[in-house]
Structure 1
Amino acid sequence: MTNKEKALALINTFVTGDTKTAGELLAENYIQHNLAYGTGREAFVGSVAYLAAAPVKTTVNNIRAFEDGDKVFLQTVYNFAGAGEQVAFDIFRIDDNGLIAEHWDNLAAVSEPNPSGHTQIDGTKEKKKVDAEETRKVVAGFVGDVLRGENPEKLTSYFDGDNYIQHNTAIADGLSGLGAALSAMAEQGIQMIYNTTHQVLADDNYGLAVSEGTFGGAHTSYYDLFRVEDGKIAEHWDVMETIAPEDTWQNQNGKF
C-alpha cells in the first residue's frame, strides 16, 4: 500500500469498524493531536470500536488526497455516528516502518454555499504535474506576506487580477470578495490574526498551510488549502477551528 492508501484505509475503519486493520496500520506510540481524543494506538482502535457500536452508522467521504514525503493530507467529509456532517483536513505522518505514527486535523460543520455559490468542498480536483517546491514557495510566501501580515503590499502579486475561486463559507470570489469580507469584519471589530505557520505541505500544484492565531480573540487553528496556477493563487479551501481550553484536552500533545 502507498502512504496515501494507508491513510485512506485508516479513516475508512470508522465506517467498517475494522479494529484489526486499524491496529495493523498504526504505530504503537501513535501521536494524536486531535485534542478530543486520547493518544496511542489503543485509543484510536477504541474509537473505531465505539463508532462501530453506535446506533447510527458513521460515514466518510474523502474529497481530495495528497502526499508530501512522509506525510499524507486529506480533505474529507465525516459524519460521526449521526452527529452531523463535518468538513475536515487530516494530516498523517508515516514512520520508517511504514506505520501511521502521527495525526493532526481541523474540523468544522458543513455550511451553506458561500456568497459566490461555492461549497466548502466543491471545485477543481485535478492536479497539474508541477514542482511541488514551487507550490510550497508560493503558498508559504502568501501565508507569510499576506495572512501573517509581514508584507501586505505584496497581496496583488499573488493573484491573476481578480481571478480567485473562494470556498470560505463567508467570502465571495476574487480579491474584491476578500477585501469586502475583511472590511465587513473590521466594521464589526472582528480580527482574524495569523501568528505562526507550523507546516506547509505540497503535492504538485496544491499546498496546505497549517497556522495558529486568533479569530475574534479566540485561540484558533487555521488550515488553508490552495491551488496554484502558473505561480498564482487560483483557488482556496479552508477549515478554521477554535482550539479548546487546555483543561478539556484528552491528550497533552498540543494542537500543532
Structure 2
Amino acid sequence: MMPQGPKDVVTQAVDEMFGKRDPDAVARLVTPGFRQHSALLGDGPEALRAHVAALPETFSYTCARLLSDGDLVLMHGTYHGLGPRPLVAFDLFRVADGRIAEHWDALTPEAGATVSGRSQTDGPTLVTRPGQRATSRQVGETFLRTVLIDREYDRIAEFVHADDFAQHNPGTGDGIAGLGAASAAMRAQGLVPRYDRVHRVVAEGEFVYTLSSGSLGGSPYAFHDLFRVDGSGAGGGFIVEHWDVLTPVPPRLPHDNGMF
C-alpha cells in the first residue's frame, strides 16, 4: 500500500531505499521526473537507483528529527558507512502525488568535539507545540532577513535569547556571547558568512528550517539552519536552539538544477 501523507512517503522511502537498501523502491516511491539538487548525485530516478544499489552493507542512517510543512519534508540525521567518519546531514524532500519529486541536501563530517559540548544532532527531537508553526516561521524568517541578510547585527537580541540559547554548531558556544566570539574568530580568518537569499522554509511546531544561499570567505555557500523557537519572547518568540550544516557550492554539479 502506498503511503498517504508527505511524512509517510519520505519515511517509507528512506526505510526502503536506505534502510533495506532496495533499489526497486525508487520506481515505487520516486516520480519519473525526479529533480536532484545534491552536489553528489546526478538527476533523475536512475541516478538515485544506482546510488542505492551501490550502498555498502555497513551503511545506515539515524534520523534525529522529521518535520513537514505542506509538500516539504525535512530530515535531520546522521549517515554511517559512507566514509571514515559519520556524516551529519539535512535532507529536504518535496512530495507530489504520493512520491518524492525533488531533493536537496547538505552533509558534513561529524565533529569530534564542539565548543558547547553538544553534538551536532542531539537536543529536543519531537514537535511538542503543533500550534506554533506560524510563530516559528515568522521568527526564523525575520531573523534571517534582519540579522543575517540585512546584517543588522545590533538587533540580534530581538530574536535570540541572550542566555538560554543552545548551540550545536561545532565552533560556536552558547548564548549571544558565543555567537559573538565565533563571529570575531571567523572575521579574523577572513571567513565572514554572508547570507543573500532564503530559498526554502519548513516550519512545524517549535522548529523552523531554512535553506539559504550566500558566501563564506568570498566563496559561494549553501546554509542549512534549523532553529527551535520558544514562542514566548518579544515579537512572538525567541530562538533558543540552533543546528546547522554549511556546504560549499562547487563550480560544477552533476546536473543542471542548482543546489537551491
Check the 8 A contact 2:161/2:176 in 1, yes or no: no
Instruction: State yes or no: 1:3 paired with 2:18.
Output: no
Q: In structure 2, what is the Cα distance between the partners aligned to 1:141 and 1:221? A: 19
Tell me the residue number matched to 1:244. Answer: 250
Q: In structure 1, what is the Cα distance between the partners aligned to 2:258 and 2:160? A: 34
Q: Give percent identity, aligned residues only.
A: 33
Report how many aligned residue pairs link the two structures: 250
Q: What's the CA shift string for 1:47-95, capped at 9, x where partnerless? A: 11111xx4x4211111100010011001010124445310111111111
CA 1:149–1:162: 2 relative to 1, 3 Å: farther
The residue identity in structure 2 corresponding to 1:27 is T
Q: Secondary structure at the match of 1:18?
A: coil
Tell me the residue number matched to 1:119. Answer: 119
Q: Secondary structure at the match of 2:115?
A: coil
Tell me the residue number matched to 1:32. Answer: 36
CA 1:80–1:7: 2 relative to 1, 3 Å: farther
- Mark the runs of 5 or more structure 2 residues left unpaired by the alignment: none
Q: In structure 1, what is the Cα distance between the partners aligned to 2:130 and 2:238? A: 15
Residue 114 of structure 1: how far off its partner (Å): 1.5
Q: What's the CA shift string for 1:153-186, capped at 9, x where partnerless? A: 3211113332210000100000000011111222
Residue 150 of structure 1: how far off its partner (Å): 4.4
Check the 8 A contact 1:57/1:82 in 2, yes or no: no
- Mark the runs of 5 or more structure 1 residues left unpaired by the alignment: none
Q: In structure 2, what is the Cα distance between the partners aligned to 1:213 and 1:67? A: 25
The residue identity in structure 1 corresponding to 2:249 is I
Check the 8 A contact 1:90/1:105 in 2, yes or no: yes
Check the 8 A contact 2:65/2:126 in 1, yes or no: no
Q: What's the CA shift string for 1:120-163, capped at 9, x where partnerless? A: 00111232223312211100000111111343332111133322
Tell me the residue number matched to 2:72. Answer: 71
Q: In structure 1, what is the Cα distance between the partners aligned to 2:48 and 2:187? A: 41
Tell me the residue number matched to 2:94. Answer: 93
Check the 8 A contact 1:36/1:251 in 2, yes or no: no
TM-score, length-scaled by structure 1: 0.93
